[in-house]
Structure 1
Amino acid sequence: MRTQAALAALALCGTLVLTACNGDDEAGAPGALASPSAGASVTGAASPSAPASPSSAPSKKPTPPATSSASPAGTKKPPAPGSTCDHKMPISPDEVAVHRYTPEGGVHSLIVKHGNWGCAAPGKDAAPFDTVGKETFLNIAEDAKITALTPIVASPVSKPITLQQLIDWLIAHPNQGRVFRYHLDSTGVIDWMDQQYTS
């Protein structure tokens, strides 16, 4: 009887243990199911964000068109009326401003400066002759053909003068820089000169 009672007790304990184990499995089953669903929810939440990352990058906006009030780059303003003079004219090859006379070296020499024509001031009839560089010497022939006008002669029209007349005027009126067009002969001496009107 004792043996049967012990066996019955063991069987009862085994039944209780199995019941308790099944109860734990059933109780843990929802937890086990909840764990993947939680993971799925995290994965589901992260899943939409992956394709959204490119859209989160800043997109380039189209450059707005230039308004009519904006002037295009590099556009030059139209020149003012009467300002078409070219300030970059080359040095004149056959014109000089005559400043003085010298007989040094036993020859007739004119002290001159080369230059180019500037721009006439408003209301002026002629442009100025802008000299450049240093004074130089030009020999002139005794019989050079010379024409002059005001103020060397009292005439607005060119008149022939002698070399001596030019010399006398240069001595009396030094450094006035009257402009002459000239020509050199084969020896490099002036053989004719023509005064240019400079107002």
Structure 2
Amino acid sequence: MHLTRFRSAGVAFAAVALAASLTACQNDDGAAAQPGTRATASAPAQDPATAAPADPSSGASAKPAAKPAATPSKETARPTAKPAAKPAVTPTAKPATKPGGAPGAGCVTTAPTPDEYDPDEFALYRIEELPGSTGKVNLVLQHGAWGCGGKDTDGGPFVVSGEESRWALDQAAYVTATDPIVASTENTPIGVQELIDWVNAHPDSGLVFRYQTGDDGAIHRLEQVFTP
């Protein structure tokens, strides 16, 4: 009697334990499967090329993408027209000079007129001394112009005309001389007194000199012109 009751209670207890075990297994299986049901595959991004065109009725019209402005190539960017060539510069001819006292193109063949006189040259003939207080001496000279030389000459003569003139020379003037006053064909500085001594020893030589005047009107620079 007592044994039967124990067996019934044991069977009941086993049944309860089995039910609890089955319930736990079902709960474990559901929990394991639940994440799989939540994980959903993301929809792939829609390809703009395959996307369906916008519905015209929606009012939104798709505008085509603007094409970038074409960049000109280096070949087309370069100007094709070449700059005009500059005209060749023709050197200006220099006026003829008198080498060694030789005449230029404007030489005279007859006695020159005052309009033809050389403006800064004359022929010297004599020197007149003045009182020392003046600080000057007088040059006795004649104006003229260069004559035309012959084929066999190195230069033309200095042709004078008109009357003799007197021009004051400052005794402190800068003076240069060449042959025959000094033994040189190059202009050599000399003193005024040396010039006076030579001219007094060789009067009326007619040597040609180039001159410059100062503010007082007297000659302050006197340079002999070499004539071959």
- 1:180 to 1:93, Cα distance in 2 relative to 1, 3 A: same
TM-superposed deviation, 1:87? 2.3
Q: TM-score scaled by structure 1?
A: 0.55
Partner of 2:140: 111
| Cross-structure match for 1:24 | none
The 5-angstrom pairing of residues 34-183 of structure 1 reads 86-87=107-108, 90-104=116-130, 107-183=136-212
Equivalent residue, structure 2, for 1:197: 226
Q: CA deviation at 1:105?
A: 5.6
Tell me how far apart the structure 1 counterparts of residues 161 and 120 of structure 2 sit (CA, whole Å). Answer: 14
Aligned AA (1:175): D
2:108–2:145 Cα contact (<8 Å) kept? no
* CA pair 86-99 structure 1, distance change in 2 beyond 3 A: closer
Aligned length: 116
Say what the alpha-carbon RMSD is for the aligned residues: 1.7
What is the identity, as a one-letter code, of the residue corresponding to 1:91? Y
After superposition, the C-alpha distances for 1:86-145 in whole angstroms (9 at most, x for unaligned) are 427721111010000101465411100000010112222222100011001011011100
TM-score, normalised with respect to structure 2: 0.48
Kindly provide the amino acid, as one letter, of the partner of residue 118 in structure 1.
G
Aligned-residue identity in percent: 38
Q: Is the 8 A contact 1:110 1:139 kept in 2?
A: yes
1:101, 1:171 within 8 Å by CA — same for their partners in 2?
yes
Deviations 1:152-182 (A, max 9, x none): 1010111001101100000000001000000
| Cα distance in structure 2, aligned partners of 1:125 and 1:177 | 18
Contact 1:149–1:158 under 8 Å retained in 2: yes
Instruction: Find the structure with the greater CA-based Rg.
Output: 2
Per the TM alignment, residue 198 of structure 1 is displaced from its structure 2 partner at its CA by: 1.9
Q: Secondary structure at the match of 2:205?
A: coil
**Pair 85,190 (structure 1): closer, same or farther in 2 beyond 3 Å:** closer
Q: How far apart in 2 are the matches of 1:159 and 1:183? A: 17
Runs (5+) with no aligned partner, structure 2? 1-104
1:185 aligns with 2:214: yes
CA contact (8 A) 2:107 2:146 kept: no
Structure 2 vs 1, CA of residues 87 and 169 (structure 1 numbering), >3 Å: closer, same or farther? same
Change in Cα spacing, 1:104 to 1:143, as seen in structure 2 (3 Å) is closer
Could you say which residue in structure 1 is the equivalent of 2:38?
none
CA distance in 2, matches of 1:113, 1:105: 23
SS at 1:167 equivalent = helix
What is the rounded CA distance, in whole Å, between the counterparts of 1:122 and 1:176 in structure 2? 25
Structure 1: 4+ residue segments shifted above 6 A: none
More helix as a share of residues? 1
